[in-house]
Amino acid sequence: MIKVQLEDFDVGEEYQRLRERTSAGAIVFFVGLVRDMNLDQQVKGLQLEHYPGMTEVQLEKIVVEAKTRWPIQDASIVHRVGDLDVSDQIVFVGVNSAHREASFEACHFIMDYLKTKATFWKKERTLGGDVWLDARESDLKAKDKW
């Protein structure tokens, strides 16, 4: 299930949804939070923008790609947009599979791909003003290893 939403999400509910698949022997999930520091700047919060429509399509494609690479049963992505504060939840990626290895790898893959393919943009509120974040070389390298 793919969700792009303003509202916060409940990790317990997302986990439970993945758990309802009876033959799954493993669930791996990742939760991303808003950090209070980035590049030595004190961060007060984030504004997250997305491309409605395209973002959801790209996330679906990433899940389909993960399913072709690993024997996973299901995957969920919840990504928030709008104004977020420090320590708020930004993203949930969860995967279930018969055995743990596929879930670990597919979850990692989905996150790395999401960071370089899905049309989201972060603008940080810092003490020095609002700044758009630049894409990181390290994120591109992380994606290329898959």
Partner 1 sequence: MIIKVLFFARLKEQLGESSISVELVDGSDTNALKETLLARGEQWLALNDEAILMAVNQNHLSQVVTLNNGDEVAFFPPVTGG
Nearer to partner 1, 17 or 123 (CB): 123
| Residue 74 β-bridge partners | 96
The footprint of partner 1 on residues 66-85 (CB under 8 A) is 79
Instruction: With contacts defined by CB under 8 A, name the span among 16-24, 65-73, 95-103, 128-136 that binds partner 1.
Output: 128-136
Tokens read off for 12: 């317990």
Tokens read off for 41: 């700047």
Nearer to partner 1, 70 or 120 (CB): 120
Q: Kindly state whether residue 49 participates in binding partner 1, applying the rule CB under 8 A.
A: yes
Q: Kindly state whether residue 3 participates in binding partner 1, applying the rule CB under 8 A.
A: no
Pick the binder of partner 1 from 43, 96, 115, 125 (CB under 8 A): 115
Pick the binder of partner 1 from 36, 54, 64, 83 (CB under 8 A): 54
Q: Kindly state whether residue 53 participates in binding partner 1, applying the rule CB under 8 A.
A: yes
Minimum Å gap between C-beta 92 and partner 1 is 11
The answer to whether 66 touches 95, Cβ cutoff 8 Å, is yes
Q: Which residues would be at the binding site for partner 1 (CB under 8 A)?
A: 32, 48-51, 53-54, 57-58, 79, 90-91, 111, 114-123, 132-135
